[in-house]
Amino acid sequence: MPRSPIDRAVFKRTLAGQCMALQLSSALTAEQRRLLLMINGETPFADLQALVPHIDGPRVILDLITEGLIALIPSSEAEPGPDEVPQEPPSL
């Protein structure tokens, strides 16, 4: 099955998201809170979704983005995957 563009997406918590993650009682649903706590700015969405397959991940991600709690990390800022790491150091 082809992978969706969101599968490779990496998200980070915004300042509001950091604050919300620290609150014990919040206005978030259990699914939103669980996914918000899992977002670390390094793990691709597909890997997070695999850990909680019962959650409608794309919908929850959209909810968190809409609430300003997470943001997409542009691919140029995301950590390279194992097949994207240069094998040789750049020449000086």
Residue 82 lies in a domain: no
Task: Tell me how far apart the alpha carbons of residues 80 and 69 are, in angstroms, rounded to a whole number.
Answer: 24
Please state, in angstroms and rounded to a whole number, the distance separating the CA atoms of residues 31 and 54: 9
Question: Residue 77 falls within a domain, yes or no?
Answer: no
Q: Which residues contact residue 71 at a Cβ distance below 8 angstroms, ignoring those fewer than 6 apart?
A: 11, 12, 14, 65
In a domain, 88, yes or no: no
**pLDDT in the model for residue 4:** 76
Q: Which of 26, 9, 46, 66 is nearest to 34 (CA)?
A: 26
- Each residue of 27-84: pLDDT tens digit? 899 999 999 999 999 999 999 999 999 999 999 999 999 999 999 998 755 555 545 4
Per the structure, the complete domain to which residue 17 belongs is given by 5-72
| Domains of the chain: total | 1
Would you say residue 80 lies in a domain? no
pTM of the model: 0.75
CA 19 to chain centre: 16
In a domain, 63, yes or no: yes
